[in-house]
Amino acid sequence: MTFSEENYLKTIYHLTAVSDADISTNAIAEKMETKASSVTDMLKKLSEKDLVNYVKYQGVSLTEKGKLAAKMIVRKHRLWECFLVEKLDFSWDEVHEIAEQLEHIKSEKLINKLDDFLGNPTEDPHGDPIPDANGRIIKVEKQLLSEFEKNQMGICVGVKDTSSDFLKYLDKQEIALGSQIEIIEKESFDSSFRIRVGNKEITVSNKIASNIYIK
């Protein structure tokens, strides 16, 4: 499997996680910052290899084979992110780009040894679950901070937006995985939140609150 094929599978996998229905050509093109015509070409190829169910004009979904392949790429991506943060001391906003490269390294033995070396983590530095060697995922139920009400409390267990900009913002506000967050006030006018993180009180917009997972 080429890097490109792997990237398409991964994108379809991620899009499936949110929408459930068949994925459109345009949705893939947008996410991958490529053109719809390029996507069509690739979908034909992936379909030929039985990695996706593709019907002209009707969108695409992963076959079981394609789904497992996608999970293995996600597994590698997230394990490498753990390695970078826990062993090499990278911060969580620096690792995604490098993991985008490392996820394409081909060696089952390598990834399984890496998994052991890291102590078989179940989540990556952004709180996303790591599929095991068989593709199994332990799902942790988590809610967005934006869905919380006044006086509720929880622990930050993940982020929805994993962009470097957003993660750096969280660093600045001293919000990290494990941080305890308490909703002090919810402003009805703009749905912003007044929250306590540790011993500090800060105000975050609804957009921010919609990208932090709490449990």
Partner DNA sequence: TATAATTTTTAGCTTTGTCTAAATTTAATT
Partner DNA sequence: AATTAAATTTAGACAAAGCTAAAAATTATA
The item of DNA, Mn ion, a copy of itself, none sharing an interface with residue 96, based on CB under 5 to 8 Å by kind, is Mn ion
Q: Give whichever of 3 and 184 is closer to a copy of itself, judged by the CB atom.
A: 3
Per CB under 8 A, 1 contacts a copy of itself? no
Phi, psi of 40 (to 5 degrees): -55, -45
Per CB under 7 A, 40 contacts DNA? yes
Q: For a copy of itself, which stretch binds (CB under 8 A), given 25-33, 42-50, 89-97, 121-129? A: 89-97
The item of Mn ion, a copy of itself, DNA, none sharing an interface with residue 89, based on CB under 5 to 8 Å by kind, is a copy of itself
DSSP conformational letter for 160: S
Give CA–CA dist 63/67, Å, rounded. Answer: 6
Of the candidates 124, 194, 132, which has an alpha carbon nearest to the alpha carbon of residue 162? 124
CB 123 within 8 A of CB 156: no
H-only helix segments in 50-198: 64-82, 95-102, 108-117, 164-172
The item of DNA, Mn ion, a copy of itself, none sharing an interface with residue 102, based on CB under 5 to 8 Å by kind, is a copy of itself
The item of a copy of itself, Mn ion, DNA, none sharing an interface with residue 42, based on CB under 5 to 8 Å by kind, is DNA
Among 17, 21, 106, 141, which residue interacts with a copy of itself (rule: CB under 8 A)? 106
Per CB under 7 A, 4 contacts DNA? yes
| Count of residues interacting with a copy of itself (CB under 8 A) | 18
149-153 long-range contacts, Cβ below 8 Å, gap at least 24? 149/183, 149/186, 150/183, 150/184, 150/185, 150/186, 151/182, 151/183, 151/184, 152/182, 152/183, 153/180, 153/181, 153/182, 153/183
The residues, any chain, with a CB within 8 Å of residue 136's CB and separated by 6 or more, are none
| Count of residues interacting with Mn ion (CB under 5 A) | 5
> Least distance to a copy of itself from the beta carbon of 85, Å?
11
By three-state DSSP, how is residue 179 classified? Answer: coil
Per CB under 8 A, 101 contacts a copy of itself? yes
Q: Give whichever of 114 and 156 is closer to a copy of itself, judged by the CB atom.
A: 114
Q: What is the binding site for a copy of itself (CB under 8 A)?
A: 84, 87-90, 94, 97-98, 101-102, 105-107, 109-110, 113-114, 117
